């Protein structure tokens, strides 16, 4: 869609297709395409200046006349792309400066696009800070997906090279999981970490960086939080582990894996009722070793039947 044509002083970016758009998202996508072209062309021609073509090749300028309602103007609070990487870009700058400004403009526009794409979250910038808000009430069938969406929007905010402030209002009030699981009850984050209030997750690192407005560390932590939450999605898709797994019987020793404390207590109580048993509980590995000094296989069968009668799920492996 874009090419560098020979102008009076240097090559100029011109579009050979239609850069008009019917939506803000389309305009942002085409503007990103233009600046990705400028970045690539600059990398291939480090010694040659390139004029960006200004408004003639900009889909945002075509759609938003005089900058009215343009997402760039809304973001920076000024017209004509002031205080953006575009405004810093000059065809006569050194190669490294032109390449950095073009790269920063791509990152800036991609951040705006990701925020614009969200159907749940909106962002307002005030005094340099970014305030997270809701476009609609929570109510998605998947609160974890809503929380991932939130952190992807925060990643977009922190990916903006012009952002120098703090992220505000990104607490429990804008969290799908907190909305669904009051006081962390049955929250998959708490189930994963065993701790309340998202302690022990990248969430903590983010807020420490946010307090001192360290954008690089904020971005790093936000990306890690998205990865952490997506990992919970994968965990949720895995079939639940049985309450009791008999992993093997070696000689007269039965090796058991029992994730829940209730299951462990049940095993110990049943085993301790038999005079010829020895029980060692290994909580760290969530495993119990039972030695039965008469017939281990027969005792294991009895234990499995008893557990099933109590409503526990059981699996026997290689026994």
Question: How would DSSP label each residue in 73-124?
Answer: HHHHTSSTTTTSHHHH--TTS-HHHHHHHHHHHHHHHHHHHHHHH-SSEEEE
Indicate if 191 and 262 belong to the same structural domain: no
Of 75, 33, 81, nearest to 57 by C-alpha is: 33
Of 94, 112, 130, which residue constitutes the final position of a domain? 112
Contact at 8 Å (CB) between 208 and 224? no
How confident is the model at residue 255, as a pLDDT? 80
Indicate if 61 and 29 belong to the same structural domain: yes
CA 205 to chain centre: 14
Of 112, 130, 152, which residue constitutes the final position of a domain? 112
Indicate if 230 and 253 belong to the same structural domain: no
How confident is the model at residue 143, as a pLDDT? 93
Indicate if 254 and 170 belong to the same structural domain: no
Cβ within 8 Å of residue 116, ≥6 positions away: 24, 25, 28, 71
How confident is the model at residue 257, as a pLDDT? 81
Domain of residue 264: give its range. 244-316
How confident is the model at residue 35, as a pLDDT? 97
Indicate if 123 and 45 belong to the same structural domain: no
Give 131-185 pLDDT, tens digit per residue: 999 999 997 678 999 999 999 999 999 999 999 999 999 999 999 999 999 888 8
Contact at 8 Å (CB) between 58 and 89? no
Of 108, 105, 97, 87, nearest to 46 by C-alpha is: 97
Of 206, 237, 268, which residue constitutes the final position of a domain? 237
Helices 202-211 and 215-237 cross at an angle (nearest 10°) of 160
Number of domains in the chain: 3
All residue ranges of the chain with pLDDT < 50 are none
How confident is the model at residue 67, as a pLDDT? 94
Hey, what are 137's tokens?
A: 């009430």
């Amino acid at each position: 869609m874009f090419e560098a044509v020979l102008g009076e002083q240097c090559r100029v970016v011109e579009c050979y297709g239609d850069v008009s758009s019917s939506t803000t998202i389309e305009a942002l996508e085409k503007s990103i395409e233009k600046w990705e072209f400028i970045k690539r062309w600059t990398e291939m021609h480090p010694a040659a200046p390139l004029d960006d073509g200004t408004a003639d090749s900009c889909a945002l300028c075509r759609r938003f006349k005089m900058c009215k309602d343009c997402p760039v103007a809304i973001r920076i609070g000024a017209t004509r792309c002031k205080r953006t990487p575009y405004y810093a870009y000059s065809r006569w700058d050194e190669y490294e400066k032109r390449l950095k400004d073009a790269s920063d403009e791509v990152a800036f526009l991609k951040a705006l696009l990701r925020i614009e794409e969200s159907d749940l979250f909106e962002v307002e910038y005030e005094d340099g800070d970014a305030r997270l808000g809701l476009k609609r009430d929570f109510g998605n069938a998947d609160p974890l997906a809503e929380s991932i969406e939130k952190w992807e929007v925060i990643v977009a905010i922190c990916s903006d090279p012009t952002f120098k402030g703090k992220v505000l209002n990104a607490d429990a009030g804008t969290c799908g999981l907190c909305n669904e699981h009051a006081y962390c009850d049955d929250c998959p984050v708490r189930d994963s970490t065993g701790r309340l209030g998202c302690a022990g997750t990248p969430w903590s690192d983010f807020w420490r960086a946010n307090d001192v407005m360290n954008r690089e560390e904020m971005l790093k932590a936000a990306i890690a939080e998205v990865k952490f939450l997506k990992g919970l999605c994968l965990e949720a898709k895995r079939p639940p582990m049985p309450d009791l797994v008999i992993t093997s019987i070696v000689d007269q020793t039965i090796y058991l894996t029992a994730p829940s404390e209730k299951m462990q207590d049940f095993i110990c109580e049943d085993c301790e009722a038999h005079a010829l048993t020895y029980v060692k509980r290994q909580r760290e590995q969530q495993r119990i070793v039972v030695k039965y000094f008469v017939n281990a296989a027969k005792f294991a069968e009895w234990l499995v039947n008893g557990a099933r009668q109590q409503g526990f799920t059981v699996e026997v492996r290689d026994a």
